[in-house]
Structures are given as structure tokens and as C-alpha cells.
Structure 1
Amino acid sequence: MTKVTYKLLIKTSKLYAEGATDSNVSVQLVGENKSHTDWHTLDKFWRDDFEQGRTDEFTINDKKVGRVLFVRFHLKHGSKEKDLWACDNVIIHHDNYVDEFPLYDWVVDNSVIVRGEGLIPQKITSEELLKTIKEERENNLRRFAWIEKAKPGDPGWMMPRFPPAKDLLNVPHQLKMADARFEHMSEMRNVSKFNALVEKLQGYLFPIKKLDDYKNLFSGFRISGDLLPFIEKWEEDEEQGRQMLNGANPFAMSRCTRLPEYCKITNTHVERLLNDGKTLKDEIKEGRIYIADYSYMTKGLPRNKQYNGDPLYCADVTALFYSSGDGKFRPIAIQLEPDNADSIFTPKDERYDWMLAKMYFRCADTIVHQWIYHFLWGHALPETGAVAMFRNLSRTHPIYKLVRPHLQNIVVINQFARDILIFDNSTSNYTRSINGAALARHVFKDFDFDNLVLPNLLKKKGLDDYNLLQNYHYRDDATALWSTIEKYLSKVIKIYYKADEDVRDDEQIQSWINDFATEGLAWPDGNTKGCPTSLKNIDELVQLCTTLVFSSSVQHSATHNAIFDLYKFIPNAPGGMRLPIHKRGEATLQRVLDSLPDITMATILLGSSFVVTELPEDEVYLGEFPMNLFTEEEPKKVLKEFADDLKVVGDKMKERNKKLEYPYEYLLPEKVPTGTTA
């Protein structure tokens, strides 16, 4: 019998200290000709094998099995407690072959790693491989189980579905948080707590007596006290408008085609605030009036209470903004209560009346931003797609290889949020006026999946006209990145799918989208929220992948990266208000100070903003692929082209920014993590 020498290079993950193993590791190679080697124990004399971040080399001599199709591992544990092993990949040299076997997963007892080529299932002819994939997928349904159907009062009630982990330590091992990220987040929480304690002590000695006193909060140990230059203009209407377009919540407004019946703003309120000779009706018709209406989201929802039991307040607010045609965008009227004309304020009112109205608007804006556009759109919905993907796609599937890097961390970071932020008694709900989970449930009920498709969202909201809405840098940059991501995903997908029937016949893809829609989104009420239950062609597959990748990377960054910059100065974006809405003539500086968060509330708000926005040094950004999931040259070339395209896009953003008083940098590719990570 002809013997062959097989050289194995086996890499243990660098991400986890516990990923090293002292268990006995055995290997068996299975070839394309259906034969296999004997089992071989991998052990080098006087060497501690399979240590964190190490690549170990082993040589085995065994019969010729043809080109190796997959690798089987078996762990024999030295104690009753299983010593798991985090294996990144295996490279095998034999005859004239050099083959890669990517895993990036944990080996518990037994594991099978298939050679790295992307394979759509209906084109696989090997019965042994089909059997292996079937077993893997059956195991995945158990590993990545859905949470049991919830009932009122449960954390998952009327929300996108997620795994049933009790806490951060119980998420599926494949999705475990890397040690460095866990240490970083723990460290940032400790920094936040320390600074909050210092601020409380200082607050007793130096209470807030004027608005500028808020500028001194939450700066000290490892936190810069510097505020960005635009904060000096926080009270100016043009700056408020700029932040609406290019701040943390840049797609919350819509072009106003008609005022809601409950909005009582009239031309009398805004006369002298529009271009000469123009009426409100004229400018609505011209497409220059934009509306941010949060009243339908917040009306009827219970308000939170402060840590001392006192109530918190949030206006059911509707605001009109004006794009005057000269590149300026500013608020022109704010209604704090539906159907109440007496609650309408404009720039023509006294300074503190108008200032306080804008603060009530910004309070609602920050809450809607954090819980709808950041949490629901950027965290919860992509997580459901990620779980469905891990449940239904095998590691050999090209779409798994394509989208996994962008969805890898979302489950564990959401579990972190479920552990400390979302429950009813969290500190978040003592400092923000509305219970976040209640708001997310209320809005998710009528959510439209098509809103995650950026071009459709911008068109639907009337935000796509570059002439009517100028200096809208979020739109420009997000659109450029959507196109770049779509191009990259489309190129890779079309390597493997040559015709629409390839998509229709792909059982794994069809089970993924069906599981996502029916079990992930429709589980509370049978409503799939517009998410398709099947995919009919290549274009639909490209759009689904683009939607998930864009939502978890670019759209999440658009709502995440600006948080601390804008929220650090509390009067600019208060998360909770301590007094009910005012009447015209009631506002004074003291009334403003009494309405804004006190020091305890402010330090908690600032601390939570700091923790979620500080990213670790080893963050993976868009265009970086530390997991080598693709092994063929053609998709690897596309990944390289994607990185090159992102550089071109980023360079254009930087050139544009040179001309701006306040550069828009939140969507620079080097500042956009490859997926939701915070």
C-alpha cells in the first residue's frame, strides 16, 4: 500500500485564553475517493500543543486517500470537565496539494472540517459530504436554538427573536466574545463608574447653576473633557438642523407632503421664518418642509421614574424643519403635544421658551434614536437574521462565508445589552423618560422590513433629492457605502450562482430566509413585517445580504459613532426631562435647569454613552477579513477589490470634509466596524 506524508498546520485561535486545550487531539483525513486514514494522535514530545494563537505543525504517514475532502477531529478529555478547543483552520500539504480547511469554531468532542471551497448544496455530488453537511445542520438547529415563544412581560415579548442564553457566558461558543473585547468593555464600565462617582461628589460641592456647568461633567480619569467645536453653537437653530441631518439620528425625519391632522402648526406660526413671499403651503408643495414626528411612537407609552421615584417626562412631539435652498436646515416649529396648538413653539418665541421646546424635542429624539434606529434597526433585527443564518447555512456554503464576518459579534453584544440595559429596572430606565423595550415593542409591531433597504428608505421618506436637501452628508456617504457593499456581495454571489434557478433550488438559502421571516420576525403575531419567506432570484439574494451587512455595519455606525460626541453635553441631547412640558412664557433659566437631568441622571447617561462608543484597539473594520473563510482565488480577489473600493470612497469623503466647517467622519470606512460590535 502506497504511503503518503501529510503535513498539517493547525492554528489555535488567539482570541480566547480558554481556547487552548490540554485534551488529547486525534485526527482522521477523509479523501475524495471515499477512503480515509487511520486516527492519529497529534502530540509533539516535550511541547505544549494547541496553545492560544499558536500554529502547530504535525506530520503523519498513512495511505493515499486522494485529495483530502474533510478533516475529522476527536478530543479525548483528561477529566470529567470538557476542555474545549478553539480552532481557526487547518492547512494540509500532501502530494501536489495545499488545501485550507477553515473552521473558526470550538471543538467540543468531535468536529468535521470540510475543505474550504464554497459549495451550494444542490451541486454537491459526494454522498459522504452531503451526509456530513446534514449532520452539521441538524446540530446547528440545536446549538443556535431560538428562545421559547415569549408571553407578556418576558424580555423577548413582541421583539425580534434571539437565542435563549441566560447571560453573556451562555451564548453559543462559536459566538463567544473575544477576551480582549470583554476586558475592554469591563474596563470601560469601570472607568465610567469611577468618573460617575467623582462627578457625584463634585456635584454636592459645586451644583449646576448654569448651562455651561454641564460642560465640566464626566471628564477626568481616561476620559477627555474636550467638547467638539460645534457644541459651542448647540443653541443655534442651524446647528440643531445640522445635527438632525448629520448627527446620531440622521434618517428619523421625512419630507412633509401634508401635515398630520393632530399637527396644528399653521402658516401664522412660521411666517417670517420662510423665504420671502413663501407660505407654509408653498414650501410643503416645493418639498422644502421636513417633519420629525415622534408622537405616534411615544403617545400612550408609560413614562419612567427617576432613581428617587419622581416621574420623568417626554413630549409626544412633532417638529418641522426647513430646507431653505441655501444649504441651511433648521427647525421652524415644534409642537409638544398632539392636537394642542398652545404647545407650539417657534424661533419667534422668547429665548428660554424656544430653548426648552427644543430640549423636549431632543429628549424624544435621543430616546427614539437609541431604542428604534440604534437598538431595533442596528442590533435586534440583524441579530435575528444572523441567528437564522447560523441555524440554516453550513460552513461550506458561500453565503455563510460571505456574511458571517459581518454578523459574528452581534448575538453576544446584544446579550450584553439584554443583561445590563434592557430589563425594566436597568439604570437606563431610571435616566431616560421612556422604557426602551416598551418603545421598541410598540414600533416593531408595525415595522416594515423594506425600511432596512437604504435606497428604498430614502425614497420613501423623500430624502433622496440632492437639490432639495443639501449638505446631507449621511445620505451621501451611506449611499456610496451601500453601493460599494452591494457591488462586493454581488460579485461574490455571482461566482457561485449562475442562474436564478440556482437560488430557487438552494434548500439552505430557502430555509434561512423562511426561518428568518416566520420564526424570527413573525413569531409573536404571525406578521413577517414584509420580509420575504422565499427568494426567487439572484437579485433578491444580493439585496438580502446587502441589507443585513449594511444594517450591521454602516447603518449601525451611523447611529452609534456620534453618540458620545453629541450626548456629552446634556443640554444638547437630554435623555430624560424632570418636569412636564411648559406653557408659553413659563420658561426661565431656572425652569430649564430644573427640567434637565440632575448630576446623578447626567452621569449615568454620559457613562452609558461612553461605554457603548469606546471601541477596542483591535476592532475589525469594513474591508478587513481576519477570518479566512474563502479559500479560492476568485472570491479572495473580490474581497481585495472591496477593500480598494472602500479606500476610494473614503478618500472622496475626506476631500469633501476639507471644505466643511464640521467634517462628517462617522461613516469613514476606517471608522465603520465590519458588523455590530457595540
Structure 2
Amino acid sequence: MELVAKRGKVEYEIVIETANACVGSARNGNSLIIELTGRDGTVTGPIQLNEIGDENFSRGNIDGFLKSAVDVGLPILVRLELRDIEGKNPLGVRRVKVWYRGRKVVFPVHDWVENELNVATGEAVPYHKVHNPHVMAVLKREVKYAREVLRWVPRPGPTDSKANLPRFVDVHMVSEIPLIFRPTEQWTLSLEHNPVHANVAKAVDLLKMTKAELNSLESYHVLYKVFEEPGKRSEFLDRWRSDEEYGRQQLNGIAPMALERCSNIPETSQISDVHVKTLLGGKTLTGEMKAGKVYMTDFTTIIRDVKRNKQQQGQQMYCPDSICLYHVNCSGDLFPVAIQLVPGDPDTIFTPENSELDWLLAKMYHKVAFGCVHEWYHHFLLTHGVMEPVAVAMFRSLPRSHPIYKLMKPHLQTITVINVFGRADLLASGSGANSAMALGGDETSRETFKTFDMNDLNFPELMKKRGVTNTKTGLKYLRSFAYLILGLNDPKLLPKFYFRDDATRLWEIIEHFAATVIRHYYPSDEDIVADRFLQDMMEDLATDGLGWEDEKHRKGLPYPLRTVDQLILLCTSVIFTSSVHHSAVNFPQYDQYKYIPNSPLAMRLPPHKKGEATMERIMNSLPDMPMSLAAVATTSSLSSYAPDEILLLGDYPVKLFVEKKAKAAMRTFRRQLDKYRADVKKRNNEVPYPYEWLLPEKIAASISI
């Protein structure tokens, strides 16, 4: 029990640093109470810092107070409380500093005070190293409260739309989202005004004024000009029809992870030497596959059982279960050499030796499958979908003073807010995204989540694999990073794969940072096993978050957590996925999809057969005006960076760590990113088509859009 001190009084200097994040008006206007607890559990009793209506605690302010209170020594805990509030405005607090007899103690809060908040001193301490019983009691109350506020969405039945998906926090609108998930209210409010709907309305109004029609391939250029500055034009649009550009976009475009090395032609395809031998310079497919020069994007099974969407007027949309073979030529460039649009139908096999329009239309159809799998699998499921339960489990299980909380919070705080919007505005039936795409978000995500394994996010391990069979399902791992699974890690065999090179380097930098911090707080495996908070987080994630339907394997999660290396791998995977992976598959979207013929997301006619392609057939197949507007507006909105206050990788303006070792690790992290940036820019200056999407200044630290 807390003991009210019966000692003499002493003067405490108290400083409250307010975050630039108040809800409501810029001035808080509330009365803030603080109570200090000493090492022996004695408390000062409530100390009122200001009167209601005083102009204290404005956004970003630093307010200082000299208060006489009973002497409890240098405090180890503070309790903050908002009192007597009408029209309560929660207060965002960055830090509390307390001076006692010339000594200072800092309490890093970085949270919202809604009613009452208890905060321990700034040192990051695992569960088993918290020796003060008063501090432990506060930490346990904090976790108990978090579990009451952050509830998992109820477990769905087998026919529920939420079945076969990662679970998430039980909120459905912005007003229900706990404030812990909102770094600033400005950012949250900026998302409430649906940018997709606003962009569509903007485009419709402008196009009405110009009376634009889609009657040629060139006419599609007018759509994206609505969202760009006059005169701006992406260089690749001048060569979009070329096979070289098609291969470049596969390697270094929106979803390079869809590519895999081809060691055998899948049974679903009838592509053979007859179709490609001339294109391979007289060499055989078997020989070139053995030489590591044949690659593929194969969608013949991954979306086979996914129902296709319909247009808003009820007409069917089309997306083929297609496969494309690529070949690395003597110059090291990746070229498409064959596409089969319908498994089992050799009349839908096309190569560059067919008519120009047959081949062009085949490439467009394959891009539909590519785009839908990118959006709902590589983008939504493998970043948004699997990272939200990690965030929920962490915030439910770890107190804010925990070292893993401090390490992971900058990378997980924003995911729940953005997913609440995404589930309503993107995944839901009838959403703008589903009116533009041939495959539905919910169904595609459920189908691909069936074989998801946490090891799919283990970048370096996947680089070593060669067609490994998933012992859990008997199926090959779905291609979350398939280029790593089937051997795209050799730059001699597959040069100019800048995404692979940059992502590998970033993984190593992130891993070094995470390992340095974690080994400081967990010197041995015994420390991992002894940390009850950490073990509770893993149990929550494995049994309620990601692995709730997979009782035997728990989606490959290390549960229970037993070693330091397991924790390093988990944290590295989460930071990498939330930053590097998400940025690579999110921010290039508009560039990839803005010109509809380059990368359509749906077709209005079923796949053609040899000899059927004409320009009229192409125009009748491509998306019409409503579908095209929805696609361009959606990808334009999703490709936008969040407001300035959302962090980039390596930025830590919120000072969660106070220990010298952890702060030194952050400085080293930034230096390594600076060196990486310089190396990438040097390379980009030496290549004809630079890859810039993974420059540190373009990598958001968390999933915030």
C-alpha cells in the first residue's frame, strides 16, 4: 500500500513538457494534479499544479512549477491526474522532470493523460529486473488497464468475413480508437476526410470540364494529370510498351517480391521450348533454368479460388490465373519471353513473336493478376494485416518502461488507426478499391493467409532457400519474398536487382541496431525466459493475434520465446516489415498504376486467344472511366506520405530511452543509414534507371498510410 508521508516539507521543481498533440483546442484548460512516490512507497499526496482555465499546458509548451510538498526523497514514480473537467480534453505529455535537492529525475511519458496516468522513471527494465515492489505494482496495473481497453475483436465463426485473417483491436470507427495509437491528433484527423473519395470527386469535376473520353491508349494520360503538377511526366511512360521496361518494373517496381527463380515449369502451364527457343538464342528452357537465367511470376494457384469482383453496375471484372516467364539476357536485363493467361489452354500462350497487339494485351492481362496480388497480399496482408496483431499484443502486454516497448513503439503505434480506415475504405465490399480491382481484398487476404508463416518475414533466411516445401502444409511458401525463396539472391545471375540489394543492406543495419539494444537488456537466454511481460506478449500474439486458428504451429511464432536470438529476429522482422517492406510496396503505387494501360487492376473482357487482339479489343478490355478514376484516385491517396510528424526510419525525436548504451545504438543506426544513403545515391548516379524508393528519406518508420 502507498503510505502518505509524515515528514517535513521540501520544495520540488516540477517541469511538464506537453506534446504537440492535444485533442480539441490548442490550450488544454484542465487542472493537472501530480503525486510523487518515493523509493520506500511513501507519497506526497496530490499536488495541484494549476487552476482550471489557466493558460498552462498548451501544445508543445514547457511549464515549470515550484511546489512545496512533503519530503519523499527523489521520486521513482509520478501519478498524473486531470481533475474537475467539463468537456475534457486529454493531455498529451512528453516528459516530466523533477528536481529534488539539486538532483534531477526524468519520467518519459510520451502518452495521453485522459484521467489518470502512473509513470516510472526513465530506465528501461525487463520484468525480472524490477526489484522495487511499488514500481512493479504500478507496471502490473498499467498492463491490466491496457488489456481492459485494448480488446481483441471477438473470434469469428467459420463463415464470418473476419475468419482466416489476423485479428485486430475491437474498434470500428475513429472515435473508438484508444489514444495510445494516435501519435498526434492532427495526423488522425487528416485521415478522417476520406482522401480516396475526395480524389475521385476532384478528378470527376475536372474531367467534366474538359469532357475527356477514353478512346485511345494515349487518352488515359489525362487521368493522372489531375493529380500532378502541369508538365510533370514520369520518364518510364515514354517506354512503357517495351519488354525491357516490363522487366525493369518487375525487378524494381511495386512488387519485386512477386518474382521467383524458375527451376521447373509449373504443371499448370504448357509453355515449352516450342514457344521460347528462338527468344533464348536457340538454347533450351531446361538448360537456361539450370543456368539460373529463367524467372517467373506465377499466379496460377495463388488466386485460383478467389472470386472476381463486379463493377458497380454489375458487369463482371476479369483477372487471369496467369504466369509469365522471364529471361536474363547477355546484358543482364530481365525480359518477358512468354505469358500464359489461362492454365491448360495453350491458345492463351503469347510471346514477343506473336503480333504486337496480341503480346501487348497479354502483358496487360498479366499485370492485372500482378497488381491484385500486390495490393492484397504483398501490401495489405504481409504488412498491414500481420503487423497490427503484433502492435495490439505489444501494447496490451508491455508497460511503457519495458525495453521492447521502447524499441518497437515508433514502428507499431500508427498501424491500428490506418487499418481502421483501410478495413472500411479499401477492403470492404463496395469500396473504392474494390470497384477498381478484379479481386476482392477480404477474400484474397483470407486465401493467402492460410499458408502464412512468420518465417516469411525472415529476410536473410528466405534468401538461402531453394524451393523449400512448407512442412506444415506440404505447399511451397507463398511468395511473400519469393525471390529470396527460390534463388534471386545471386547478383551474378540476376544483376540490376536494386531492390534486393538495398533491402538486404537495410535488414543488416536494422538487425545490428536491434541486436545492440536487446543484448544490453538481455545478456543471456535466461533473461528472456524470466521476463514475464515478454512471455505474456508472445502468448497473446500466438494464441489470440496471429496464430489463433493455428493451434499446432502458431503461424511459426517463437512461442514460448526462449532465446535472445529469437527476440532479435522477431524485432528485426517487425521493424523491417513496418518500415522497409511497407515503404517498398506502398509508396511506388501511384507511379506504377497511374497510367492504366501500363498496369491495369481489372479487365472488362475475359482473356483473349491468339490472333484476337485489335486496338478495339484492347480498348474494350481496359477499365472504363469509373474504374480508372477509382484506381488512380486510390493509388494516389495511398502513395502520399503522412504529415511531417510521422517518423522516417532512423528518426527518434521521442526520447523513450535514457540509457547511454541505447542512445549510442541509435546514433550508430543513423550513421549507418547515412552511409547507406551515400552508397545508394552513388550507385543511382551510375545507372540509367535509378531505384530511389528505399532511400532513408523515403522510408516511413511505421505503417502510417
Q: Which whole-Å CA distance do the structure 1 matches of 2:112 and 2:413 have between them?
A: 14
Q: Does 1:385 align with 2:390?
A: yes
Match of 1:641 in 2: 668
2:519 aligns with one of 477, 482, 494? 494
Q: Does 1:631 align with 2:638?
A: no
Q: Does 1:593 align with 2:619?
A: yes
Contact 1:92 1:99 in 2 (8 A): yes
Match of 2:213 in 1: 207
Match of 1:292 in 2: 297
Match of 2:404 in 1: 399
Match of 1:605 in 2: 631
Match of 2:329 in 1: 324
The alpha carbon displacement at 1:391 in A equals 0.8
Between 193-202 and 342-351, the greater mean CA deviation after superposition? 193-202
The alpha carbon displacement at 1:206 in A equals 3.5
The alpha carbon displacement at 1:425 in A equals 1.7
Residues 1:200 and 1:158: Cα distance change in structure 2 (over 3 Å): farther
The Cα offsets for residues 603-656 of structure 1, whole Å up to 9 and x where unpaired, read as: 110001111111134132111112111112221121121111111111100000
Match of 2:360 in 1: 355
Between 366-375 and 99-108, the greater mean CA deviation after superposition? 99-108
Match of 1:472 in 2: 497
Question: For residue 159 of structure 1, what is the amino acid of its counterpart?
Answer: L
Q: Does 1:415 align with 2:420?
A: yes
Match of 1:145 in 2: 151
Secondary structure at the counterpart of residue 590 of structure 1: helix
Secondary structure at the counterpart of residue 24 of structure 2: helix
The alpha carbon displacement at 1:169 in A equals 2.2
Contact 2:31 2:51 in 1 (8 A): no
Match of 1:109 in 2: 115
Secondary structure at the counterpart of residue 437 of structure 1: helix
Q: Which whole-Å CA distance do the structure 1 matches of 2:146 and 2:184 have between them?
A: 21
Between 254-263 and 192-201, the greater mean CA deviation after superposition? 192-201
Q: Does 1:365 align with 2:346?
A: no
Match of 2:481 in 1: none
Contact 1:211 1:593 in 2 (8 A): yes
The alpha carbon displacement at 1:55 in A equals 1.7
Question: For residue 488 of structure 1, what is the amino acid of its counterpart?
Answer: F
Q: Does 1:246 align with 2:243?
A: no
Give the 5 Å matches for 1:157-556.
Answer: 157-176=163-182, 178-185=184-191, 186=193, 188-189=195-196, 192-198=199-205, 200-201=207-208, 205-220=211-226, 226-274=232-280, 276-459=281-464, 460-526=485-551, 528-556=554-582
Residues 1:241 and 1:333: Cα distance change in structure 2 (over 3 Å): same
Residues 1:487 and 1:36: Cα distance change in structure 2 (over 3 Å): same
Q: Which whole-Å CA distance do the structure 2 matches of 1:479 and 1:521 have between them?
A: 26
The alpha carbon displacement at 1:58 in A equals 1.3
Question: For residue 92 of structure 1, what is the amino acid of its counterpart?
Answer: V
Q: Which whole-Å CA distance do the structure 2 matches of 1:43 and 1:387 have between them?
A: 35
The Cα offsets for residues 435-476 of structure 1, whole Å up to 9 and x where unpaired, read as: 111001000011121111111233323111111110000000
Q: Does 1:61 align with 2:98?
A: no
Contact 2:438 2:602 in 1 (8 A): yes
Q: Which whole-Å CA distance do the structure 2 matches of 1:241 and 1:199 have between them?
A: 34
Q: Does 1:26 align with 2:52?
A: no
The alpha carbon displacement at 1:202 in A equals 5.4
Between 12-21 and 510-519, the greater mean CA deviation after superposition? 12-21
Match of 2:595 in 1: 569
Question: For residue 232 of structure 2, what is the amino acid of its counterpart?
Answer: D
Q: Which whole-Å CA distance do the structure 1 matches of 2:228 and 2:15 have between them?
A: 42
The Cα offsets for residues 519-563 of structure 1, whole Å up to 9 and x where unpaired, read as: 111223535221221221111100000000100000001101211
Question: For residue 702 of structure 2, what is the amino acid of its counterpart?
Answer: G
Question: For residue 548 of structure 1, what is the amino acid of its counterpart?
Answer: V
The Cα offsets for residues 344-401 of structure 1, whole Å up to 9 and x where unpaired, read as: 1111110111111100110111110011001111111011111111111111110100
Between 18-27 and 304-313, the greater mean CA deviation after superposition? 18-27
2:583 aligns with one of 557, 562, 573? 557
Match of 2:471 in 1: none
The Cα offsets for residues 489-516 of structure 1, whole Å up to 9 and x where unpaired, read as: 1111111111111111111111112211
Question: For residue 550 of structure 1, what is the amino acid of its counterpart?
Answer: F
Question: For residue 565 of structure 1, what is the amino acid of its counterpart?
Answer: D
Q: Which whole-Å CA distance do the structure 2 matches of 1:531 and 1:353 have between them?
A: 46
Contact 2:21 2:185 in 1 (8 A): yes
The Cα offsets for residues 578-627 of structure 1, whole Å up to 9 and x where unpaired, read as: 11000100001111111111111111100011111111341321111121
Contact 1:553 1:622 in 2 (8 A): yes
TM-score of the two chains, using structure 2 as the length reference: 0.93
Match of 1:650 in 2: 677
Between 505-514 and 352-361, the greater mean CA deviation after superposition? 505-514
TM-score of the two chains, using structure 1 as the length reference: 0.96
Residues 1:677 and 1:656: Cα distance change in structure 2 (over 3 Å): same
The alpha carbon displacement at 1:21 in A equals 3.3
Question: For residue 417 of structure 1, what is the amino acid of its counterpart?
Answer: G
Question: For residue 508 of structure 1, what is the amino acid of its counterpart?
Answer: F
The alpha carbon displacement at 1:200 in A equals 4.6
What RMSD in Å do the two structures reach over aligned CA positions? Answer: 1.8
The alpha carbon displacement at 1:82 in A equals 4.2
Residues 1:202 and 1:261: Cα distance change in structure 2 (over 3 Å): farther
Between 609-618 and 306-315, the greater mean CA deviation after superposition? 609-618
Name stretches of at least 5 consecutive residues in structure 2 with no aligned partner.
1-6, 465-484
Match of 1:89 in 2: 95
Residues 1:305 and 1:224: Cα distance change in structure 2 (over 3 Å): farther
The alpha carbon displacement at 1:488 in A equals 0.7
Question: For residue 52 of structure 1, what is the amino acid of its counterpart?
Answer: R
Residues 1:113 and 1:608: Cα distance change in structure 2 (over 3 Å): same
Match of 1:659 in 2: 686
Secondary structure at the counterpart of residue 553 of structure 1: helix
Q: Which whole-Å CA distance do the structure 1 matches of 2:334 and 2:378 have between them?
A: 21
Match of 1:127 in 2: 133
Contact 1:392 1:508 in 2 (8 A): yes
Question: For residue 402 of structure 2, what is the amino acid of its counterpart?
Answer: H
Question: For residue 648 of structure 1, what is the amino acid of its counterpart?
Answer: K
Q: Which whole-Å CA distance do the structure 2 matches of 1:625 and 1:199 have between them?
A: 41
Contact 1:422 1:437 in 2 (8 A): yes
Name stretches of at least 5 consecutive residues in structure 1 with no aligned partner.
none
Q: Which whole-Å CA distance do the structure 1 matches of 2:664 and 2:183 have between them?
A: 29
1:75 aligns with one of 71, 82, 96? 82
